[in-house]
Amino acid sequence: MKAKFTGHDTFPLRYGWLFKAVNHLNSNGKFSSSDEDSIRQSIVELGVGKNMVKAIQYWAEASNVIHSERSNNSFTHAVSQNGEYLFGGESLEDGRDPYLELPGSIWLVHFWLNFNVEHLTAYRYFFNFANVQHFEKTKLIADCFEDAKKLVDSELGNISTIKKDIDCFLNTYSKKLKATPSKKSINIDEDHFISPLSELNLIQDNGGGFYISNLSERPELPIEIFTYALLEFFKTETVDSKVSTVDFDSLLSKPCSPGRIFRLSESGLGQKLDEVQNFTDKNISWVDSLGLRQVNVSDYAKTNSTLYLNQYYGTKND
């Protein structure tokens, strides 16, 4: 993995940013860090400052809705298949949910953002490698710094860089609390209620630098999104196309697994797999007997993760 603890200029992901990025490229706009004309054009078209343009580009790349391509010894950006799927191609009508109005779309963006073993960030460290449910921010910063030394094979930078990335990650995923004037109660600070990912309630700010992120059953996670994530993970686990099983424990705790990314408890994963059996007409099934816990994936399911996802959006085309 390569370290990537910078790029967002400490701006958390905001509502509308991913759509802005995709729409900008679909309208023949460009993202560039060196071409002054392109930068000025992006500032005008996106209606934000230079640093925020960089942040929009960062989050769109991180969630894999846009990607960079090498062309004529330089890099250009294009809308990815994920970006076209959710936010649309040349027409917004092509996008399943360009304004993230459905809760499942936010779960999907969360999965795309963390389903990555190429670059290590604070949020990918937390969702894929950290083993905490109650934590203090200062301890998480120290743990991330020490573990990153073992996980990455590039220049890590100093701990202050990781601290800024942890701050941005927590502001992206949790609703900021503030004390009322009476100091007898704590309310949500609406100024920080700006990130769609905070809606998932995966991390709660407990005040005083302490946070909670319990493993749970996640009944609010749509089964279509979970099924898609399971199949995408299955592809990475089984290089041999003849393999049709994946271990329950791998689904629960391996980096980039749905259990990890969605913060599922052991019983929660079992319940989701029970739902998946019914949802897929047993094209995905599992056994839990005599110490054997294994998930079976049919040949049909292996190649149709997007078709299952389409059922959430009520579409049949892939």
Checking if the pLDDT of 224 tops 80, the result is yes
| C-alpha atoms less than 13 angstroms from C-alpha of 281 in its C-beta half-sphere | 3
Measured CA to CA, the distance from residue 176 to residue 118 in angstroms comes to 30
pLDDT exceeds 70 at position 221: yes
187 pLDDT band, cuts 50/70/90, is very low
Please report how many Cα atoms fall inside a 13 Å half-sphere around the Cα of residue 12, on the Cβ side: 22
Cα separation values, 307 from 90, 117, 228, 282, Å: 22, 25, 9, 15
Is the pLDDT at 312 greater than 60, yes or no?
yes
Residue with tokens 């100091």: 183
User: What pLDDT band is residue 176 in, cutting at 50, 70 and 90?
Assistant: confident
Q: Which carries the bigger pLDDT value, residue 207 or residue 53?
A: 207
Quick one: average pLDDT of 17-45?
78
pLDDT digits (tens, 9 = 90+) for 89-107: 776 678 999 999 999 999 9
- Concatenating the DSSP letter of every residue in the chain gives -EE---SSTTPPP-TTHHHHHHHHHHTT----SS-HHHHHHHHHHHTS-HHHHHHHHHHHHHTTSEEEEEETTEEEEEE-HHHHHHH-SSSGGGSS-TT--SHHHHHHHHHHHH--SSEE-HHHHHHHT---SEEEHHHHHHHHHHHHHHH-SS----HHHHHHHHHHHHHHHSPPEEE-TTSS-EEE-GGGTT-GGGGG--SEEEETTEEE---B--TTS-HHHHHHHHHHHHHHH--STT--EEEHHHHHHSTT-HHHHTTB-HHHHHHHHHHHHHHTTTSEEEEEETTEEEEEE-HHHHT-HHHHHHHHHT----
Token pair recorded at residue 282: 């047993």
In percent, the amount of the chain with pLDDT more than 70 equals 87
| Residue 27's pLDDT band (cuts 50, 70, 90) | confident
Enter the tokens of residue 290: 């005599």
**Binning pLDDT at 50, 70 and 90, where does residue 240 land?**
low
In the prediction, which pLDDT does 71 show?
66
Supply the pLDDT for residue 50.
80
Residue 5 confidence (pLDDT) above 80: yes
The CA-based dihedral angle spanning residues 117, 123, 125, 126, taken in that order and rounded to the nearest 10 degrees? -130
Model pTM score? 0.91
pLDDT in tens, 33-66: 666 666 677 776 777 778 888 899 999 999 999 9
* C-alpha to C-alpha distance for 67 and 78, rounded to whole angstroms: 6
The pLDDT of residue 217: 97
Q: Report how far residue 189's alpha carbon sits from residue 125's, in angstroms, rounded to the nearest whole number.
A: 26
Digit-coded pLDDT (tens) for 258-301: 999 999 999 999 999 999 999 999 999 999 887 789 999 999 99
Higher pLDDT, 106 or 182: 106
Question: With contact defined as beta carbons under 8 Å apart, do 285 and 296 qualify?
Answer: yes
> Which domains are present in the chain?
17-97 (1.10.10), 119-212 (no CATH), 223-313 (1.10.10)
Q: Average per-residue pLDDT in the chain?
A: 89
Structural contact between residues 92 and 103, judged by C-beta atoms closer than 8 angstroms: no
pLDDT in tens, 188-197: 444 444 899 9
